[in-house]
Structure 1
Amino acid sequence: MTDRVISRPASKANSTTILDFLELVALIDPSGRARIDTLIRDQELQAEQAEDDFGDADTAKDGFVENIENEFNRRASALGESYPFLMTDDAEEIVLQVPENDPLAGSYLACLIASQIGDKGDLKLSIPDQAGLAADIITRMRRRIFQMIGTIALAGLAKGPAGSIGWPREEKETIIASMVRAVGRGFPIPVLEEPNWTALDGAKDGGVDVIAWEHTDMPPSPSVWFGQIASGRNWKGKPVIQDALNFSEDFLTAKHKNANHATIVPFDLDGDEEEAATLHHRHGTILDRLRLSVRFKEGLLLIADGIEMDESQNTLVAMTWVNEFVAGLRIINEAA
């Protein structure tokens, strides 16, 4: 039972939230399994209590399971062998099956947790507070784990190196120092020796968390990317475009003529197509959970090919964080 650490999805929940719930139950439960039929009975009970019409039992069950299967297949297609779950042949259970030392599986699980954590998540996933360290767990996720994931993913999107410049930077270096390293790896715009007068006093990252640029054997790189990593739910109204313009003015000698922009979030864009189109238009590109996974996988391939980038030495930290988080949740659950 996991009721102590996660809320069951509402009777009208979409298939994204429902599969998130099943995946989280399989992740948290020591058995590594989540039963779909148990959730179906719960959904029927909720519908009865709310006096909603769940419809003909067999027809409703078939449609419910089909929607879960479709969403499962969508995720499995994006992650391939790194997808850390499987569905039994009878479509009755979701089973945890994490490939050993797989950075992509770890990044997916970290994003799954981040998208549902706390009171604002649809499933209100609890935050373990072992020895009063709940704040530390969340801080590490936002500042280090998701920073690593976003950096590698933007590299995959740009098809080249990436720089992790969001605050706090791992080595506590200045923006200028981190950008000098990026220029040494092929970032095509020279960096100023000191921040421009336009930079705000005490600016730590200029509103930009990640930069990336296309790798080429014939420099300069033809395109650059500015990315913002957003783990909070208020990201929709905060596109990185203006911050990128300010960053170029404050720290670079010029603006690149082929600059692109991306907002990186752990959530799954399951809204209507019109809203999704509007958000992509405002943000340039949105790397939500599955798009993020695809680009993260491409970033890992670049690292394997010898492309130097920030965070390349940290690709396994996501799974370490997930294991610590789950261990804390199990302590809460077992105390019930």
Structure 2
Amino acid sequence: MTKRIVVPPPVEADVSVIVDWLELTSFFDHFGRARVDEIAGSFKTQEETPPDNFGDADRDNDNLREGIENEVLARQKALGDAYPFALDDTGEEFRLERQIDDPRASFYLLCLIATHISKSVILSQPPCDKLVYKLRNRVFQVLGTLAVAGFAQGPAVSVGYPRQTKEGILTVLARAQQWGSGLIARNKPGKHANPRANDAGIDVIGWPQSDRPPPPHIYFAQLASGKNWTLKPAMLEYSNFMDDFFEEHGTAQHNFVTIIPHRIFDELTFTRQSKTHKAIFDRHRAPRHALAALQLHDRGVLMDEACNAHQIYRWLRQYRRSVSFT
């Protein structure tokens, strides 16, 4: 018997997990569809004690559908064109409305799958180790660089290691200087720099487009695709990074960003972590900002990784093919 790629969530699952199930099911379905009644039927099968009467069952069913509709609307509102799914007019069929090679789909899909790589209750066949490595060391760097550029509304350089270009870090920082960051890179690392440092904990630098340097402010970003993202604020390594690799710091109006593929549901967690990480781009923010970056790039704004956006689509296609026929 073929193992299912996506399995129904448990009855007690939050509606956010239920909608993730609909999204993943649509992603793997040949026609890009999922049925709400399949979830309702699964919950009915899982229930150890059936409702006392038909009225209770109807009410539970209505509550389930209302919760799904509200969650989908919340995602559409947060992500705009970067959200590729929709319910049909009946509220019964859920659809992936764009091809996965469309950045309006691929950016979100990457974050969705990254969320469920580890300990997922619904994704039974997550990406293999090779694909996880590529996600964390290449394609998420593409998404993160674009997200910073889109948020900053200007250029961004991809600092994170390993670099596809094989450039040294000082070469990347010299490019940032050339593009108008207002930061003056050293010719060689400072005397206290770790000789093996490849990115010194900073993955992306972005700033708003300006007629001349220095820009009014600069963003330093850390990318964290794993669940331990709370331990990796960009500001943790910032002081050493600046001392090791820059002679001049521009206006020193420097801000910090952490980019994660997961969603933060708890408001208290989000508030507390924002005090440490400053700006946090989760699954409801990063795809939208990345999509905005491509629009800037089309208008001639310089940025790293824009020409590599197709790598995200290729990763998605490779993952889907690797599990669809197992």
Bucket of the pairwise TM-score, normalised by the shorter protein: over 0.9
Q: Is the 8 A contact 1:78 1:293 kept in 2?
A: no
**For 1:114 and 1:50, how far apart are their aligned partners in 2?**
35
Offset of residue 226 of structure 1? 0.7
Q: Is the 8 A contact 1:2 1:28 kept in 2?
A: no
Q: Is the 8 A contact 1:16 1:270 kept in 2?
A: no
Q: Is the 8 A contact 1:2 1:25 kept in 2?
A: no
Q: Tell me the secondary structure at the aligned position of residue 253 of structure 1.
A: strand
Q: Is the 8 A contact 2:81 2:288 kept in 1?
A: no
Partner of 1:262: 257
**Deviation digits for residues 112-156 of structure 1 (CA, Å, limit 9, x no counterpart):** 1111123x234344135xxxxx33211221111110000000011
Question: Taking structure 1 as reference, are residues 36 and 252 closer, same or farther at Cα in structure 2, changes over 3 Å only?
Answer: same
Give the alignment of 1:1-336 within 5 angstroms. Answer: 4-48=4-48, 56-99=56-99, 101-118=101-118, 120-127=119-126, 134-255=128-249, 256-271=251-266, 273-332=267-326
**Deviation digits for residues 264-316 of structure 1 (CA, Å, limit 9, x no counterpart):** 01111122x12211111111111001111221122122111110110011122
Q: Is the 8 A contact 1:82 1:99 kept in 2?
A: no
Q: Which runs of 5+ in 1 are unaligned?
A: 129-133
Using structure 1 for the length normalisation, give the TM-score. 0.90
* RMSD (Å), alpha carbons: 2.3
Q: Give the length in aligned residue pairs.
A: 324
| 1:269 partner amino acid | I
**For 1:125 and 1:283, how far apart are their aligned partners in 2?**
32
Q: Is the 8 A contact 1:186 1:221 kept in 2?
A: yes
| 1:5 partner amino acid | I
Runs (4+) off by over 4 Å:
none
Q: Is the 8 A contact 1:2 1:29 kept in 2?
A: no
Using structure 2 for the length normalisation, give the TM-score. 0.92
Q: Is the 8 A contact 1:153 1:297 kept in 2?
A: yes
Offset of residue 50 of structure 1? 11
| 2:20 partner amino acid | D
Q: Tell me the secondary structure at the aligned position of residue 56 of structure 1.
A: helix
Q: Is the 8 A contact 1:262 1:286 kept in 2?
A: yes
| 1:188 partner amino acid | G
Q: Which has the larger displacement, 235-244 or 220-229?
A: 235-244
Question: Taking structure 1 as reference, are residues 100 and 29 closer, same or farther at Cα in structure 2, changes over 3 Å only?
Answer: closer
| 2:122 partner amino acid | L
**For 2:2 and 2:112, how far apart are their aligned partners in 1?**
16
Offset of residue 14 of structure 1? 1.5
**For 2:151 and 2:50, how far apart are their aligned partners in 1?**
45
